[in-house]
Amino acid sequence: MDWEERYARYGRPFGERPNAFVQQMMDEDSFAEVFGCGSRILCPGDGYGRHGVALAQRGHRVVGLDISPTATRDARRRAAQAEVEYTAVTADLAAQPWPLARNDHFDVVASIWFRLPDAEARTAWNREAVRHLRPRGRLLLVAGRRMTTVEQETGEWPPGIAWEDHSTAEEVRMVGRLLD
């Protein structure tokens, strides 16, 4: 089942609340430096906006990207109801051109359970995402342990990122910062 069919059939299959680690990062002062205040955040694979809209409700300006037109329409409705600054864009991130202008830069890329099926496409997208990060920008990466490892995830990103591992037995949870 592809993503469009999944969202069309099941609506919001992952619930309404953000992933537990994203929620922890929004709630705990010890993670305040990751998102900063009023940051511009890119959320690839944001589906119906469960992470992006929650971040926008905290005062961030968020762009959510997803392959499913059904999900991005739902994300736009959620953002409108919440009256937040969230832009939902329908895009296939495994294909080029990517939906970002060359001079479009972000403070944070929050990649939460976003995983392109092909390693070459993932690596290409990761390079593109980093190219759109501001100097000393942050990366938030969450993926399932059953499909990946910390080493595999960090190995698919370009060099020049300092990673902190916050993983659990269930999830790979990485926070990265672009080095000078």
- Catalogue all structural domains in the chain, each as residue range(s) with its CATH number: 20-178 (3.40.50.150)
Confidence (pLDDT) at 21: 92
At 23-66, the pLDDT tens digits run: 998 888 777 788 888 899 999 999 999 999 999 999 999 999 99
Under 8 Å CB-to-CB from 92, ≥6 apart: which residues? 67
Q: Does the pLDDT of residue 1 top 70, yes or no?
A: no
89-to-74, 93, 144 alpha-carbon distances in Å: 11, 11, 25
Query: Which amino acid type is present at position 52?
Result: G
At 81-133, the pLDDT tens digits run: 999 999 999 999 988 888 888 899 999 999 999 988 888 999 999 999 999 99
